[in-house]
């Protein structure tokens, strides 16, 4: 590794992060790993080994090559030698991004268009969907998943090992403690959540998850023969999702950051950077690298309240502004035809399904009906992307915008409904897209109040926006009033997509899911023979509840306004 990429670290910091110990045992290394030298076998076998690495809640400004204060020399080097995807889109929260990666379909076509799958919900990835790992198994791959699942587990049929993965090691819920693997759905409902296959992995408690998951990937690489069978590994890191936890040695290089949350968050990103280094080392060591494709992607935008940064993009995790849906992504592979470049080709997370099936040797019949496109030629050869538009989502259950109406949508679309679509250069948002400020890197918990005064969004009573994203990637100039012709066209596209939508699957929470009733762990609690009831959408109990909620929101809105006014 070139030392010039590590400017700003002291020698002690470099050693503490492991960047100068390539051939020494690191915290991520597998114990008793076979001692082999780097292998470069030829001829290159086909199809390629695929390593898909996903981070959780890593923001657009949380990687070195975007000018971040967080140092990621390994990710920077891999991206620089590969193809950086700078027009790449994901979903604003966890479950939707993973479901779209695994199925190649928009949320409206799987019933997962509202929120996430909560631990107590009898819900999971629909059984009628043929998953990406299932297709790869059909094409001869050995498939493995390590890390965060978050696609439901109420039945055993929902588990990763029943949805196409030969092996699974990780957590089933959305957020766990990085050491104890305790996961809580509310203050008093907690359980253990680390699983080996379909069993609870009690014995692994106390090990930092980023290290533990990396060890498992290295073990898979060490024990598999790269010449006998192609390999697909989906490494879904828990990092850098809250809680903000990391070993102390990763925090030390960021001791100069005055913001505590940002300091801890940066340490977690550095731990991921080191983990990726150790995985790429193993790919070389065991003879995979020359015929491998490494894909790096985050699952959604960063959360500034927890140390993340999407600057200079607008919005944050959980919103349909660019800060919530524009993702970090790159591809690194010796198989790329045109390397060391930045791609502006339009790519969406659903595109990985047909792209990887195509690389594995599958024909188009295996991806019939998916919403993704095979974008390999756009990535590898620099050709135009076959994708011309992206449906970010239509969520009929999200809180309707008070100022929205069918009249505001020209009689075409009810703008009270949360929805967003991009067609060509144009992006349309309706309803309530979520928190819409631009948040500078220092505008994080613990900084002086006058930082809040840098950027403020002051037009809350809207329900329709239009932006030319190519010319205005930071969404500062709303053109909805100047270009009603474009607005009408995009509203018509929303109507088109909405006609293809399936009913929302968002069932009520099931008290039988309580870990106290299941040995202290989050595990499947419904028998496979029991009939599903996905049609039961969680309903507000009564109108009085709705009135109380409205009053509560009004109170906290006024309170927040007073607090913000005082700070400014």
Q: Just list the catalytic residues.
A: 94, 150
Place of tokens 């762990």: 521
Token pair, residue 323, equals 């800060």
Query: What is the rounded CA–CA span in Å between residue 229 and residue 213?
Result: 22
Query: What is the rounded CA–CA span in Å between residue 333 and residue 339?
Result: 9
Specify whether the CB–CB gap between 78 and 294 falls below 8 A.
yes
Strand (E) positions, 220-305? 231-236, 292-298
Query: What is the rounded CA–CA span in Å between residue 147 and residue 210?
Result: 9
Please count the residues of the chain.
Answer: 568
Residues 6+ apart with CB under 8 A from 497: 106, 108, 391, 394, 421
Residue 309: helix, strand or coil by DSSP? Answer: coil
**DSSP letter string, 128-147:** TPPPHHHHHHHTT-EEEEEE
Token pair, residue 241, equals 């999702």
Order of strands across the sheet that contains 292-298: 199-200, 195-196, 167-171, 142-148, 231-236, 49-55, 292-298, 329-332, 83-85, 341-343
| 377: exposed, middle or buried (Cβ count in 10 Å: 0-12, 13-18, 19+) | middle
Specify whether the CB–CB gap between 430 and 417 falls below 8 A.
yes
Query: What is the rounded CA–CA span in Å between residue 562 and residue 519?
Result: 47
Specify whether the CB–CB gap between 440 and 451 falls below 8 A.
yes
User: Which helix (H) or strand (E) segment is 464 a member of?
Assistant: strand 464-468
Phi, psi of 145 (to 5 degrees): -125, 135
């Amino acid at each position: 590794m070139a030392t010039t990429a590590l400017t700003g670290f002291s020698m002690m910091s470099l050693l503490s992060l492991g960047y100068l110990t390539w051939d020494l045992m690191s915290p991520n290394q597998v114990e008793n790993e076979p001692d082999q030298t780097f292998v470069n076998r030829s001829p290159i076998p086909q199809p390629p080994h695929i390593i898909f690495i996903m981070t959780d809640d890593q923001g657009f400004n949380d990687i070195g090559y975007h000018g971040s204060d967080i140092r990621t020399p390994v990710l920077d080097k891999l991206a620089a030698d590969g193809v950086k995807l700078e027009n790449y889109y994901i979903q604003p929260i966890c479950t939707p991004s993973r479901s779209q990666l695994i199925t190649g379909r928009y949320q409206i076509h799987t019933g997962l268009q509202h929120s996430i799958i909560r631990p107590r919900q009898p819900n999971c990835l629909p059984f009628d969907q043929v998953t990406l790992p299932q297709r790869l198994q059909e094409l001869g791959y050995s498939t493995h998943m390590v890390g965060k699942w978050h696609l439901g587990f109420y039945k055993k049929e929902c588990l990763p090992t029943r949805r196409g993965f030969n092996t699974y090691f990780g957590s089933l819920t959305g957020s766990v403690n990085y050491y104890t693997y305790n996961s809580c759905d509310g203050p008093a409902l907690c359980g253990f959540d680390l699983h080996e296959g379909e069993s609870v992995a009690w014995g692994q408690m106390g090990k930092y998850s980023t290290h533990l998951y990396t060890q498992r990937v290295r073990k898979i690489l060490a024990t598999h023969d790269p010449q006998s069978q192609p390999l697909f590994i989906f490494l879904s890191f828990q990092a850098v999702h809250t809680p903000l936890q990391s070993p102390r040695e990763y925090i030390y290089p960021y001791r100069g950051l005055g913001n505590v949350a940002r300091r801890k968050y940066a340490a977690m990103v550095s731990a991921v950077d080191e983990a990726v280094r150790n995985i790429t080392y193993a790919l070389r060591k065991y003879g995979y690298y020359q015929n491998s494709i490494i894909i790096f992607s985050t699952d959604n935008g960063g959360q500034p309240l927890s140390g993340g940064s999407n600057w200079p993009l607008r919005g944050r995790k959980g919103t349909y502004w660019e800060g919530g849906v524009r993702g970090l992504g790159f591809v690194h592979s010796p198989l790329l035809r045109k390397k060391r470049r930045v791609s502006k080709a339009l790519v969406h997370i659903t595109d990985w399904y047909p792209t990887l099936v195509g690389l594995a040797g599958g024909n188009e019949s295996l991806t019939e009906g998916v919403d993704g496109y095979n974008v390999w030629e756009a990535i590898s050869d620099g050709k135009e992307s076959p994708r011309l538009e992206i449906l970010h989502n239509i969520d009929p259950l999200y809180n309707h915008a008070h100022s929205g109406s069918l009249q505001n949508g020209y009689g075409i679309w009810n703008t009270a409904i949360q929805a967003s679509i991009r067609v060509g250069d144009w992006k349309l948002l309706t309803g309530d897209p979520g928190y819409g400020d631009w948040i500078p890197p220092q505008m994080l918990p613990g900084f002086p109040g006058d930082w809040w005064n840098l950027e403020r969004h002051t037009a809350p009573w809207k329900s329709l926006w239009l932006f030319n994203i190519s010319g205005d990637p930071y969404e500062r100039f709303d053109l909805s009033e100047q270009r009603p012709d474009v607005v009408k066209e995009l509203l018509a596209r929303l109507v088109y997509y909405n006609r293809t939508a399936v009913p929302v699957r968002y069932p009520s929470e099931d008290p039988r899911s309580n870990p106290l009733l299941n040995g202290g762990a989050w595990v499947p609690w419904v028998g496979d023979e029991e009939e599903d009831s996905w049609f039961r959408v969680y309903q507000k109990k009564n109108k009085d509840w709705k009135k109380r909620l409205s009053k509560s929101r009004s109170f906290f809105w006024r309170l927040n306004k007073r607090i913000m006014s005082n700070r400014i």
